[in-house]
């Protein structure tokens, strides 16, 4: 059986190759290749730990703030630093702004343009979808960029700029917010809410969150015109193209939880498998390099003890990506996992009945937008302009710490060990490292490698459109994956 090589994939962040074998009109086997290595963990070795705040956001231009949060949390953990409430609120707002902008960009600019490809030109909905979502030329692109750029003004006020702010520190935010700025932030949020209600959903955000199960979602789909609501268009395409049958995984999910406030996380952390939620124990995370172009590690290691040494000639290697595992198991991460583990009713119903698939990943991502925006509106109101936003960030010369957070596309962790005031070891496991992991020492493939099996290949297709939908449904970030 010959392997077909699919790539490069555009409209993902970074470079990606997928190799597939097909039999009987479906994909029968898949290998996911991350084709670029830069060596951040090697670059960080020996640096002052606080310099991680400059290097690590530059791992990724799209998860930049998530990287900063993970680094600042790891340093705060190592140093025993507690942020003031204003600092927590400010960091949550900056982080939420990035995560929502990412969801928004992913839906409009990365995912939907595939339905405007020529292969669908015979479908009854094609003209309307192409007119709105065609890459670059569709009507949505310009509107969406405008709305996104205006929403990002929050970054201009609170973080100096995006991407790559240094405003996120172990002790909080470097930027105090004045009372006049607080109301400007509210205006920015209300402008974005307007776009979401008028174009993305075609309904008030609160109403969207009242949809509790599959039946109500089906009713909502038929109650209006997909031309008036981009979310309804997604539901209609999902129904017509059976996107709920595409891209299934083993249905084991993990979330680190995100948006810390006074000892709690707004979206809680945990693991979900076969209908049961359990607590996450990050001590049980390991990385395996058995199928990576890596050396220096005979057995899977917890990231405190992990080694990152590239070896382009490693036997049985086929990617620069390592294989992270939780308790030795493959887990899927992302908005679907996050909302499921947090107990969002609709997502709980969709996963309980249909598991993980392309449609459910997209619905979870889009419904997270109103959930987070409503939180953001509350967080701004809680800011107290005369109180502190930051405390000192003194570190200990011998210590270790980790920072676990959620980027838009899933769980991101940094682990740092500090010796003589310098970084002895810094290890990063990014969301797409989990989702696009290669096989482990037991030969078990990661979530995407599982999700591609069974994908239909249409007559004459060299690079199946189903593969495109499945890959993009994870909202991959390849520059984070390998770093």
Partner 1 sequence: MNSQSGFNVLWLQSGGCGGCSLSLLNAESPNLVHTLEGAGINLLWHPMLSEESGSEMVRILQAVIAGEIKLDALCIEGAILRGPKDSGRFHILAGTGRPMLDWVRDLAAVAGYTLGIGTGASFGGITAGGDNPTDACGLQFAETERGGVLGEAYRSAYDMPVINVAGCPTHPNWITETLMQLTLGDFSESDLDEWQRPRGYADHLVHHGCPRNEYYEFKASAEEHSQLGCMMEHMGCLGTQAHADCNTRLWNGEGSCLRGGYACINCTAPGFQEPGHRFQETPKIAGIPIGLPTDMPKAWFVALASLSKAATPKRLRQNAVSDHIVVPPHSKKK
Beta carbon of residue 267, minimum distance to partner 1 (angstroms, whole number): 24
What are residue 27's DSSP bridge partners? 22
CB of 46 to partner 1, least distance (A): 7
Contact set for partner 1, span 110-169 (CB under 8 A) = 110, 113, 116-117, 134-136, 141-142, 145-146, 148-150, 152-167, 169
* Binding of partner 1 by 228 (CB under 8 A): no
Pick from 390, 448, 452, 455: which binds partner 1 (CB under 8 A)? 390
Strand, helix or coil at 204?
coil
| Single residue of 173, 249, 269, 339 touching partner 1 by CB under 8 A | 173
In the list 21, 26, 28, 55, the residue contacting partner 1 (rule: CB under 8 A) is: 55
Which residue in 20, 27, 30, 64 binds partner 1 (CB under 8 A)?
64
Which residues sit opposite 80 in a β-bridge?
none
The whole-angstrom separation of Cα 211 and Cα 424 is 49
- Point out which span in 60-68, 220-228, 329-337, 433-441 binds partner 1 (CB under 8 A): 60-68
Range in contact with partner 1 (rule: CB under 8 A) among 173-181, 229-237, 358-366, 450-458: 173-181
Residue 406-445 contact track with partner 1, rule CB under 8 A, x = bound? ----------------------------------------
Contacts of range 343-348, beta carbons closer than 8 Å, 24 or more positions apart? 343/268, 343/277, 344/371, 345/212, 345/213, 346/211, 346/212, 346/213, 346/214, 346/216, 346/217
User: How many residues in the shown chain lie near partner 1 by CB under 8 A?
Assistant: 89
Contact call for residues 70 and 63 (beta carbons, < 8 A): no
The strand pairing partners of 261, in sequence order, are: 264
- Of the two residues 46 and 224, which places its CB atom closer to partner 1 in the complex? 46
Binding mask 259-298 for partner 1 (x = CB under 8 A): ----------------------------------------
- Of 283, 320, 318, 317, the closest CA to residue 303 belongs to 283
Report how far residue 84's alpha carbon sits from residue 172's, in angstroms, rounded to the nearest whole number: 7
- 384 contributes a contact to partner 1 by CB under 8 A: no
Position 38 contacts partner 1 (CB under 8 A):
yes
Q: How far apart are CA 47 and CA 58, in angstroms?
A: 16
Position among 3, 23, 48, 328 found at the interface with partner 1 (CB under 8 A): 48
Q: Is 56:75 a contact under the CB 8 Å cutoff?
A: no
Q: Binding segment for partner 1 among 350-358, 367-375, 398-406, 461-469 (CB under 8 A)?
A: 461-469
Q: Does 466 bind partner 1 (CB under 8 A)?
A: no
Cα dihedral 220, 222, 227, 228 sign: negative
DSSP conformational letter for 81 = -
Query: Rounded distance, CA 437 to CA 158, Å?
Result: 35
State both tokens at 260.
């810390």
């Amino acid at each position: 059986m010959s392997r077909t090589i699919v790539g490069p994939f555009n409209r993902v962040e970074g470079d990606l190759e997928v190799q597939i074998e097909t039999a009987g009109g479906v994909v029968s086997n898949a290998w996911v290749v991350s084709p670029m290595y830069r060596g951040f963990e090697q670059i960080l070795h020996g640096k002052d730990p606080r310099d991680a705040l400059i290097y690590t956001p530059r791992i990724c231009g799209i998860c930049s703030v998530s990287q900063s949060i993970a680094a600042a949390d790891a340093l705060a953990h190592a140093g025993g630093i507690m942020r003031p409430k204003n600092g927590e609120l400010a960091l949550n707002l900056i982080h939420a702004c990035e995560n929502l902008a990412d969801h928004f960009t992913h839906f409009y600019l990365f995912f939907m343009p595939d339905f405007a490809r020529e292969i669908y030109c015979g479908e009854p909905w094609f003209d309307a979808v192409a007119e709105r979502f065609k890459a670059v030329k569709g009507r949505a692109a310009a509107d969406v960029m405008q709305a996104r750029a205006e929403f990002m003004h929050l970054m201009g006020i609170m973080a100096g700029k995006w991407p790559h702010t240094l405003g996120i520190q172990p002790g909080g935010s470097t930027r105090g917010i004045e009372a006049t700025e607080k109301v400007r932030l509210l205006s920015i949020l209300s402008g974005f809410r307007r776009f979401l209600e008028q174009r993305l959903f075609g309904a008030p955000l609160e109403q969207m969150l009242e949809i509790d199960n599959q039946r109500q979602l089906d009713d909502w789909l038929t109650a209006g015109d997909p031309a008036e609501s981009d979310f309804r268009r997604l539901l209609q395409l999902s129904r017509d193209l059976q996107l709920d049958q595409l891209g299934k995984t083993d249905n084991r999910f993990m979330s680190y939880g995100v948006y810390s406030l006074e000892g709690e996380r707004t979206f809680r952390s945990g693991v979900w498998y076969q209908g049961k939620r359990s607590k996450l124990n990050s001590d049980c995370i390991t990385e395996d390099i058995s199928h990576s172009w890596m050396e220096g590690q005979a057995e899977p290691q917890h990231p405190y003890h992990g080694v990152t040494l590239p070896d382009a000639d490693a036997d049985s290697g086929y990617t620069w990506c390592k294989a992270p595992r939780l308790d030795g198991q493959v887990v899927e991460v992302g908005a679907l996992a996050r909302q499921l583990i947090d107990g969002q009713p609709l997502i709980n119903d969709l996963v309980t009945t249909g598991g993980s698939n392309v449609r459910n990943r997209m619905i979870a991502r889009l419904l997270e937008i109103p959930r987070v925006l409503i939180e953001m509106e509350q967080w701004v109101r809680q800011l107290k302009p005369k109180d502190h936003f930051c405390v000192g960030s003194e570190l200990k010369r011998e210590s270790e710490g980790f920072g676990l957070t959620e980027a838009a596309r899933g769980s991101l962790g940094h682990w740092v060990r500090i010796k003589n005031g310098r970084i002895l070891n810094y290890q990063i496991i990014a969301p797409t490292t989990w989702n696009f992991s290669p096989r482990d020492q037991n030969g078990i493939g990661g979530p995407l490698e599982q999700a591609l099996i069974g994908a239909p290949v249409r007559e004459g297709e060299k690079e199946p459109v189903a593969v495109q939908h499945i890959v993009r449904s994870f909202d991959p970030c390849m520059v984070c994956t390998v770093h």
